Amino acid sequence: MNITHDHEPKANRIRKKMAKLVGHGQNTYTPTQVVVEKAKGCTLWTVDGKKLVDFTSGVLVQNLGYLHPTYEKYWADYRKGLPRNAYNMVTELFTEASERLLKTMKKNPKAQKLLWAASGSEAIQKAMWTTLHRYPDRPIMVATRYGFHGKKGLADDVSGESSKNPNVKFISFPMSGDEDPAFFQKELDALSKAYPGQIALLITEPYLGAKGSYHPPAWYHALLQEWCNKNDIPFIFDEVQSCFGRTGNMYAFETYGVQPDLVVLGKGLANGEPAAVVAGRTDLIEALDYGEASDTYSASTSACAAVCATLDVFKEEKIVSQVRKTMVLLEKKLEALQERFPFIQAVRGEGMVYGIEMDSAERANRCVLAAYHGTGKEGVHFLGPLAQKVLRISPPLIITEKELNHGFSLIEKAWAKIAL
C-alpha cells in the first residue's frame, strides 16, 4: 500500500519508490510513514521541510535523542582503530562494555555474566536456551499472556495469547487494576502441580507494551518471583524496551523490586546501534557451550562502543534523575489531555512510557495523522496504534520541559479539529 500526503511531493516520491522496491511487511503499519531527512535531539525534519516533535524515541531506542553530541563523540572515540566486526576476536572494549554493564546491575546479585546479541528477540532466545540447556529434562515454558518477546523462534512461541509450541503454557497478566493476587497464585500453583519438576522457565515483561501499555501492581512480579524461587524455576525479565531509565529507574527490575535470574536488555541499551544483552546467573549463562550462543554481529565493536558511550552520558548528565523530574510533568500533561478529549478512554503508564487508549481504531489512526499534520509546518510524530487503538507516548528521556509543552500544545490543537 502506497501512503501519500498532500503537500509532500518529495516524500510521496520516496514512498512510491520504496513501495516498488521493498515488501510492505518490512515495516509495521503507521499511517504517516514519515520520510525523514535529518534528526537531532527530540526533533525530526521531513524531506519536505516539516518539523516534528518526536514522541517515539524511534520505538524506545533513542533514549538520548538523535545525534546527541557527547554520545556521538564518545562512540567514535571508543571504536577508533578497531574493526567494525569482532567475531571470535576479543577487544578491550568488549570486556569494558561487559564489565560496566554488570556494574550498573548491582542491585540484582544474580546478574553475574552476560551473553550478547544483535536484537532483542535474539537475546530472548538466548536467555531461553540457557534454561533449556541447564535443565534438559524440563520441556515446559511458562509465559505471561499478551506479552511480546519477538517474532522469531522461541521468542515468538512465548508471545501473544496462544502458541503453536505445545510446551508453552500461559498465565494471566493483571490488566484491570483491581485483580485479586489469589487468582494469580492459584494459576501458578496449578501449573506446578500439573508439571512438577518439568518447568524450565517463566518469562514476562515488566509491563505489557505491545498489548497497549498495561502496567501491573507492585505485588505481581514479586508473586511471580516467589513462585519461581520456591519451585527452582528461572525467572526471565524481558527489559528489551524498559531498560536504561524508561520506568524512572535504570532498570525496571528496580522499579518493581525483583531480582530476576535472567534480565534481557535491548533498544535503549545502545541508543540506536543494534545491541542486546542477557545478564544472569553464571550457571545458566555457562549452560551454553562454545558456539551455542554465537552469531555474526553480537557484541560488534560499534555496539560495545555505543553501550559505553550511552553509559557515559547517563552518568555525566544524570539522565535517570532528569527522568524522575520530567515524568511528573508528562503525567500531568496526559491527565489534562484526557480531561479535554472525551474520546480518550484511558491513560496507562509510568516513568516515560504511556499508552493513550482511544474509543476506536479509526479514531486512533486519525489522531496519529492529525498530530503529524499539525500546523502544516510543525507536528508531533507517533507510531501506529498499539493493539489497534492505543497511542504510545515514549519521547526521548532528554526531552526538555519546553519541548514537552510544545509537543502537547501541538497535539491539543490538532485533536481539537477531530469531531467528538
Instruction: Give the chain's domains with CATH numbers.
Output: 9-68+318-415 (3.90.1150.10), 85-299 (3.40.640.10)
- For 196, the 3-state DSSP assignment is coil
| Integer Cα distance of 331 and 298 in angstroms | 37
The predicted-structure confidence for 378-420, as pLDDT tens digits, reads as follows 999 999 999 999 999 999 999 999 999 999 999 999 999 986 6
For residue 178, the model assigns a pLDDT of 87
Count the neighbouring beta carbons within 10 Å of the beta carbon of residue 182.
9
CA R_g for the chain: 22
Can you say whether residue 61 is alpha, beta or left, with left for phi > 0 and alpha for psi between -120 and 50 degrees? alpha
Q: Using CA atoms of 84, 90, 92, 95 in order, give the dihedral in degrees to the nearest 10.
A: 110
For residue 420, the model assigns a pLDDT of 61
3 with 35: CB under 8 angstroms? no
For residue 1, the model assigns a pLDDT of 66
CA atoms within 13 A on the CB side of 64: 27
The predicted-structure confidence for 5-18, as pLDDT tens digits, reads as follows 999 999 999 999 99
- For 407, the 3-state DSSP assignment is helix
Residues near 128 by Cβ (< 8 Å), separated by ≥ 6? 141, 154, 155, 158, 200, 201, 203, 236
Cell of 417: 479539529
Give CA angle at 68 (115, 62), nearest 5°: 50
Q: What is the mean pLDDT of residues 340-360?
A: 97
Distance of CA 334 to the CA centre of its chain: 20
| Integer Cα distance of 142 and 261 in angstroms | 15
Give CA angle at 295 (291, 299), nearest 5°: 110
- The one-letter amino acid code at 402 reads K
For 16, 19, 27, the CA distances from 1, given in Å and listed in that order, are 9, 7, 12
Among 56, 63, 12, 411, which residue's Cα sits nearest to residue 266?
A: 63
Q: Using CA atoms of 129, 135, 136, 138 in order, give the dihedral in degrees to the nearest 10.
A: -100
Residue 88 has pLDDT above 90, yes or no: no
Give CA angle at 352 (65, 375), nearest 5°: 65
DSSP category for residue 17: H
Mean pLDDT lowest among 30-39, 173-182, 337-346: 173-182
Tell me what the pLDDT averaged over the chain comes to.
97
The helix-helix angle for 301-316 and 319-340 (nearest 10°) equals 80
- The one-letter amino acid code at 66 reads Y
Q: What is the mean pLDDT of residues 138-145?
A: 98
Q: What is the mean pLDDT of residues 74-85?
A: 95
The predicted-structure confidence for 201-259, as pLDDT tens digits, reads as follows 999 999 999 999 999 999 999 999 999 999 999 999 999 999 999 999 999 999 999 99
For residue 144, the model assigns a pLDDT of 98
Give CA angle at 333 (328, 339), nearest 5°: 130
Residues near 186 by Cβ (< 8 Å), separated by ≥ 6? none
- For 81, the 3-state DSSP assignment is coil
DSSP category for residue 25: G
Distance of CA 392 to the CA centre of its chain: 11
Q: What is the mean pLDDT of residues 42-47?
A: 98
Distance of CA 207 to the CA centre of its chain: 10
96 with 308: CB under 8 angstroms? yes
DSSP bridge partners of 89: none
The predicted-structure confidence for 181-207, as pLDDT tens digits, reads as follows 999 999 999 999 999 999 999 999 999
- The alpha helices in 142-291, defined as continuous H runs, are 153-157, 181-194, 218-230, 252-255, 282-285
Residue 267 has pLDDT above 80, yes or no: yes
Cell of 355: 499508552
Q: What is the mean pLDDT of residues 363-391?
A: 97
Distance of CA 44 to the CA centre of its chain: 20
For residue 176, the model assigns a pLDDT of 87
Its sign, for the CA torsion 302, 105, 216, 139, is positive
DSSP 302-327: HHHHHHHHHHHHHHHTTHHHHHHHHH
